[in-house]
Structure formats: C-alpha cells, structure tokens
Structure 1
C-alpha cells in the first residue's frame, strides 16, 4: 500500500516535458489533502527529435501488454505509451525493469523523469 505521492506520470510533447505527481491515501483512494504536483522543463529541438527518433524505432506491438508482474509485492510499476497518428501502443512493466524492445527509449524517458522528480 502506498500513501503520499504514489503516482507519477510524465507527459512529453514537442517543446516540453511535464511530470505530474498525484497523492493517494490508504487503499489507493485519492487524498484531497495533497494537491497534484506539476514539474515541467522545456525540451530543446534536439531533445525532442531524439525522443521522436527513439519512439519511432520502438515497436511495442512485439511485446505483451503486461511484462512481468507490475506492482506485485509493492514493487512498483511503470507504463510506456507511444502515441502516433495511427493510434497508441502501451506496455506495463515492473518498475525499472529491462525491456529490450524499448530499452533505448525507456532509458531516455527515465532519465528525463529523474531530472524532473523533486529531491526528497
């Protein structure tokens, strides 16, 4: 069970990355006492192009929708979603797990998330 800021979401768009943290109370219920937190950073054209290149080279159709046992035994979970004009592809996996089909993109996104995450 997680209490506090348990859920984070990183949204990457051209020119900006935004990390959103949401609080949860006991048993995963929303915690109105803690408002969502937003941290953002501008992305350079080169950063955006690199992320686009890595996303284009990543084929999530070759992996199952769920890899491993995400969030089992309170180990945490991650999800990677790539949106394109043809639709969205997603995969859920254990927190910080390896995923060879998407590893270069995962490494880049994780580094960006770590850069935005507040030091506690």
Structure 2
C-alpha cells in the first residue's frame, strides 16, 4: 500500500513540476502605436498624432491647435480613418523587434530645438510603453522603416482632412 501511495505522489509531483517550468511567452504582436509630430512655438495645428492598434484597421489622427495667444489646446480634432489590409500588413512587417525598440534611447538629436519640431513613435505592447523622440524630418536607423511608413500615412491623412 505504501508503494502505491509513493508512486502516485511521485507521479503527481512530476506532473506538477513540469507544469510550473518557465515557458517563454510568445511576443505579443497586438500593439498600440502612436506616431506624431509636435512644434513648440507655433500657431494652428502644432501637434498631430496617428493612433492605431495593429489588430484593427481603424486609426485616428489627433490634431491639437494653438491660438495666436499661444494657448495650448485651443482646439482638438479627431479624424477617424482606415488602413487597407495591405497597409496593415506592411505596418506589421515594419514593426521592429520589441526588445530592440524598448532598448532604444528616449531622445535622439535635439528635437524641437529652435522650433525645428519633433517627431515621435510610442509603442505599448500591453506590458510596457516606450517613446522615442527625434528631430522633425530625421530618422532613427533601427526603426527607419516604421518611421517612414507612419509618416507617409500621417501626411496622407493631413492632406485628406486639410489639416494645415
């Protein structure tokens, strides 16, 4: 009888021990991305950001304006649009390895110095959020392809909604 109890105990201990081993978690491909541009000393639309989630074809362009007195957020507009399936697939391919992205510096160059403007990309994978800010019109080598893709889409929507 003691032998059977010992055998059952060993069997359950083995099964329990195997279930508790560390398994590498798969990389979460459903991420939230915000890509934008900002100008510190400006009148009109001084902040524009493209907000999207890689699991959805919908995206938003947020535009914040400043009035002639320099009041922040004189107006905020949200424009909703869609990615085509081809654009969404291209975006997913352009997303950098998240470990590489999260290891990037937070600031490159001198963004918004002498009102040269700044651009940024922020990625939230559900566990962490990281923002990379750089000079307007420039790029960051490790994430160049996603910068170009999102910049192009943002500009397309700015022109579509005549947000100048």
TM-score category (smaller protein): 0.7 to 0.9
1:55 aligned to 2:95?
A: yes
Task: Specify the alignment match of 1:30 in structure 2.
Answer: 72
Task: Specify the alignment match of 2:42 in structure 1.
Answer: 2
1:98 aligned to 2:115?
A: no
Greater Rg over alpha carbons, structure: 2
Secondary structure of the 1:89 match is: strand
Secondary structure of the 2:111 match is: coil
1:20 aligned to 2:57?
A: no
CA 1:97/1:39 → structure 2, altered by over 3 Å: closer, same or farther? Answer: same
TM normalised by structure 2 equals 0.63
TM normalised by structure 1 equals 0.84
- Count of residue correspondences: 118
For structure 1, the 5+ residue unaligned runs are: none
CA distance in 1 between counterparts of 2:140 and 2:96 reads 16
* Greater fraction of residues in strand: 1
For structure 2, the 5+ residue unaligned runs are: 1-40
Task: Specify the alignment match of 2:157 in structure 1.
Answer: 116
Within 5 Å, which residues of 2 pair with 1:57-76? 57=97, 59-76=100-117
CA contact (8 A) 2:60 2:78 kept: yes
CA contact (8 A) 1:15 1:45 kept: yes
Shift of 1:2: 0.8
What CA RMSD, in Å, does the superposition of the two structures yield over aligned residues?
2.0
Greater displacement, 61-70 / 45-54: 45-54
